[in-house]
């Protein structure tokens, strides 16, 4: 089964926004085992849209369209699809009621006349209620081809896809498909591939796909079977073998869990509190932890000690240490972490000091040199890294590795 | 003149990465005054690539392709383009030398045999040296059609486009095109449009395009003329009028300057130092400032005081204030900012305290309520906001508004 994406919107052609919807839908289709060979972006123009939709329906089984479902004259996706598939437009009473109550509950005013346009649907379409906006989604089926029309705003598209389109597409798969995500920190993509070479080489069912991210590698295992049980049985031994080989480097097997969520969860489970002491990352690590809802249970405070004076006053780093070894050193990282525990009273402090560049590097201490330390109950683990890339990249890698260092320290020493 | 984008890469079709290159190139083409009607993503497959490239060359004047220029067998963009345009492949001595020296300076090992593939170019192509990677870019011209082939990694593509492709495309424009960016913080998109309604309504030359971002609106003015001077003369009065109406809400007219860069620049100019005191933003504001190269000249330190205890110890917020008004209050924000100045010895401290959700809201203090304060030389400005959106969105808006508050305080009171 093949799927194709058509993104409709002048704002994409003008570069006003990045097409995050396309990435989301492409990843979802890959997880469903659909082949995807084309993605097309087109503007709100009847003729061009029609040509693009007809081509897509000819060469792909399922065409997923996003955008152009709103109430204005520019919004044409539904109309063009209906014509391309030879379907008549009719008013849908259910959607009319839905729109009416959406307006009453959210906008508190009379619905403008042109908005009723959104209650008109191609005859025979499955209507997907929009729980987060006005325009409903639609599924059109005709002569073995399927068009799925979804609203453009991600806050409407994502939940609609997960709650209504995904179950529909899963049913469309003749075979049951089971997918598992393995998220890894601590090894690069090629290291992971080396460690799993024999498994990757002989992969057919389940398939193993690697996704390289900043300081993180994701593996997606996908198995097909007659039913879910059979697919599960195919995936289980491979997953088990991968987990055995990668050990603690795997921080989650849950698709929706991020590294910071895994760290906060682990700290909660162990009843530990944490503080942060950052130099080159400038607060990114604290911000990442705080981004997890409920982080206040484990995260107490953080300091960004950019100047030496701040390192001494807020963390008790000794002037002698800074003068002898420098601000970017193993010794300073250690004193920052240990000072952070002392000052904050938290169980753990993770400290980061490094050179993110672009300036400031020397032969002995080049840009990309980063020290981090994690102090947990009197024991301090220190790491030295030589990161590559620009300032952003160095800081992001530092932040990820610092979070991972916390995770490993807690796993190994608490 | 019309332009079309073709993004080549299985990683886009699998949803492994978001297509940021397409946004960048679309915005650049819009600024150049090119019409763009299509963007297509296709995998590394000879037949499908060829069909997509032929269609694009037929319907668009300039086709910009990204990706698929590397050394592996999968990399086919150059080969397929050459065939589609009927051009022979020949070795380019200059590129061979360039590759050799790139390897010697960056990778320190013998160049693998298959990498010489990158020195082969379609006969008659303009070669664009790659200052940040191996594969060169290429410009192919034939029978009034142009194909521009660029490497996929953004760190290679962006500088190559700005330094080499942009001047080439500017020359291709029959008319001179002048573009100015006006970046605004403090008004929403519809407010900006209301304030400039008469200018936007009668726009033809220059055109005015609005780009809504988080807590920021960008306006791009684009004028065409016989020569640059004429275009400049057309843009000047409109730009002047916009600047007059928007006043201090405009933080830059430089395309490449971000809000945090403008703040750091302003602080440098005024010789002022800053510290941050954050609760709900958890260090994002500090991280944003530190992300500006050279921030160490103005940014001293930051604290993330998530717990009340930390607010008292690190910032001297009084227990009575926290008990009477709560952690999310005008009074706490003020004491955080004033305490931050006292503790850090910096000239300015900006403080943020709020409810980012999802939990923790009440009728009196709903999720999205954020207080911020900026203390500058004994004078404290306080703001109350009611932000909408999810946790991320609330925190990002808070961070942006806090940076803008610093900017306005410095502009008005120093």
ipTM summary value: 0.77
Residues A404 and A251: their CA atoms lie apart, in Å, by 9
Residues B279 and A206: their CA atoms lie apart, in Å, by 45
Q: Which has the closest alpha carbon to B23: B211, B251, B165, B223?
A: B211
Same topology between domain B2-172 and domain B259-413: no
Dump the DSSP string for A356-384. Answer: --SS---SSS-TTEEEEEEEETTEEEEEE
3-state secondary structure of B307: coil
Contacts of B27 in chain A (CB under 8 A): 14-16
pLDDT per residue as tens digits for the range B274-303: 999 999 999 999 999 999 988 989 998 999
3-state secondary structure of B304: strand
Q: At what angle do helices B46-59 and B77-84 cross, to 10 degrees?
A: 50
Instruction: Please give the torsion angle defined by the CA atoms of residues B27, B30, B35 and B41, in that order, rounded to the nearest 10 degrees.
Output: -10
**Residue B63 pLDDT more than 90?**
yes
Helix (H) or strand (E) holding A274: strand A274-278
Q: Is B40 close to A45, i.e. CB distance below 8 A?
A: no
Who contacts A298 (Cβ-Cβ below 8 Å, separation ≥6)? A264, A267, A268, A272, A273, A274, A289
CB-CB contact of B387 with B368 (8 Å): yes
CB-CB contact of A137 with A130 (8 Å): yes
**Mean pLDDT throughout B354-374?**
92
Looking at chain A, how many residues does it have? Answer: 414
**Residue B111 pLDDT more than 80?**
no
The CATH fold assigned to A2-172 is: Molybdenum Cofactor Biosythetic Enzyme; Chain A (3.40.980)
Question: How confident is the model at residue B201, as a pLDDT?
Answer: 83
Q: Which structure tokens are listed for A348?
A: 């753990």
Question: How confident is the model at residue B108, as a pLDDT?
Answer: 54
Report domain extents, chain A.
2-172, 177-252, 259-413
Residues B13 and B7: their CA atoms lie apart, in Å, by 10
Share above pLDDT 90 across residues of chain B, in percent, rounded to a whole number: 70
Residues B131 and B205: their CA atoms lie apart, in Å, by 36
CA distance to partner chain A, nearest, from residue B164 (Å): 20
The CATH fold assigned to A259-413 is: Maf protein (3.90.950)
Q: What is the pLDDT along chain A (414 residues), one digit of tens a residue?
A: 899 999 998 889 988 889 999 999 998 998 888 999 999 999 989 999 999 999 999 999 999 999 999 887 788 999 999 999 999 999 999 999 988 887 777 655 567 777 888 999 999 999 999 988 889 999 999 999 999 999 998 889 999 999 999 999 988 877 778 889 999 999 987 788 889 989 988 888 998 887 777 899 999 898 888 888 999 999 999 999 999 999 999 999 998 899 999 999 999 999 999 999 999 999 999 999 999 988 989 998 999 999 999 999 999 999 999 999 999 999 999 999 999 999 999 999 999 999 998 888 999 999 999 999 999 989 999 999 999 878 888 999 999 999 999 999 999 987
Q: Is B41 close to A45, i.e. CB distance below 8 A?
A: no
pLDDT per residue as tens digits for the range B157-166: 999 999 999 9
Q: Is A395 close to B344, i.e. CB distance below 8 A?
A: no
Contacts of B37 in chain A (CB under 8 A): 13, 42-43, 45, 48
Residues A315 and A304: their CA atoms lie apart, in Å, by 10
Q: Name the residue facing B306 among A48, A296, A304 (closest C-beta).
A: A296
Q: Is A13 close to B26, i.e. CB distance below 8 A?
A: yes
Q: Is the bond into B358 cis (omega within 30 degrees of 0)?
A: yes
Q: What phi-psi label fits residue B130: left (phi over 0), alpha (psi between -120 and 50 degrees) or beta? A: beta
**Mean pLDDT throughout B129-142?**
92
**Mean pLDDT throughout B34-40?**
95
- What count of Cα atoms within 13 Å lies in the side-chain half-sphere of residue A180? 23
**Residue B107 pLDDT more than 60?**
no
Which phi and psi angles does A261 have, rounded to 5°? -65, -40
Contacts of A281 in chain B (CB under 8 A): 287, 290
Residue with tokens 């860069």: B261
**Could you tell me which chain A residue has the CA closest to the CA of B390?**
A155
Share above pLDDT 70 across residues of chain B, in percent, rounded to a whole number: 98
Contacts of A39 in chain B (CB under 8 A): 12-13, 40-41
Residues B190 and B184: their CA atoms lie apart, in Å, by 12
CB-CB contact of A136 with A95 (8 Å): yes
CATH assignment, B177-252: 3.30.70.2860
Size of interface A-B (CB pairs under 8 A): 222
Q: What phi-psi label fits residue A326: left (phi over 0), alpha (psi between -120 and 50 degrees) or beta? A: left
């Amino acid at each position: 089964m093949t799927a194709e994406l058509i993104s409709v919107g002048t704002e994409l052609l003008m570069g006003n926004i990045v097409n995050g919807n396309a990435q989301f839908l492409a990843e979802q289709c890959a997880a469903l085992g659909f082949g995807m060979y084309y993605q097309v972006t087109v503007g709100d123009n009847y003729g061009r849209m029609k040509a693009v939709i007809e081509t897509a329906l000819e060469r792909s089984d399922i065409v997923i369209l996003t955008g152009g479902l709103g109430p204005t004259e520019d919004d044409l996706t539904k109309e063009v699809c209906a014509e391309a598939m030879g379907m008549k437009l009719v008013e849908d009473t259910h959607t009319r009621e839905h729109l009416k109550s959406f307006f009453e509950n959210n906008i508190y005013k009379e619905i403008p006349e042109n908005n009723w346009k959104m209650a008109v649907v191609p005859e025979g379409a499955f209507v997907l209620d929009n729980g987060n906006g006005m325009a409903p989604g639609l599924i059109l089926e005709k002569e073995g081809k399927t068009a799925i029309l979804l609203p453009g705003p991600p806050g409407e598209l994502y939940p609609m896809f997960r709650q209504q389109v995904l179950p529909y597409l899963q049913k469309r798969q003749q075979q049951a498909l089971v997918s598992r995500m393995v998220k890894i920190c601590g090894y690069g993509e090629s290291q992971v591939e080396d460690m799993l070479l024999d498994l990757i080489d002989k992969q057919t069912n389940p398939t193993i796909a690697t996704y390289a991210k900043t300081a993180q590698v994701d593996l997606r295992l996908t198995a097909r079977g007659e039913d879910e049980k059979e697919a599960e049985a195919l995936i289980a031994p491979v997953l088990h073998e991968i987990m055995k080989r990668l050990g603690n480097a795997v921080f989650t097997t849950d698709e929706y869990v991020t590294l910071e969520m895994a760290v906060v969860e682990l700290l909660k489970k162990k009843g530990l509190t944490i503080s942060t002491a950052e130099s080159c990352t400038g607060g990114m690590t604290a911000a990442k932890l705080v981004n997890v809802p409920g982080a206040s249970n484990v995260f107490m405070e953080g300091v960004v000690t950019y100047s030496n004076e701040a390192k001494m006053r807020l963390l008790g780093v000794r002037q002698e240490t800074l003068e002898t070894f420098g601000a970017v050193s193993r010794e300073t990282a250690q004193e920052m972490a240990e000072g952070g525990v002392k000052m904050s009273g938290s169980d753990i402090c993770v400290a980061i000091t490094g050179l993110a560049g672009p300036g400031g590097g020397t032969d002995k201490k080049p840009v990309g040199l980063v020290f981090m330390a994690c102090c947990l109950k009197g024991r301090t683990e220190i790491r030295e890294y030589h990161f590559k890339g620009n300032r952003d990249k160095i800081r992001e890698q530092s932040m990820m590795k610092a979070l991972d260092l916390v995770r490993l320290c807690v796993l190994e020493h608490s």
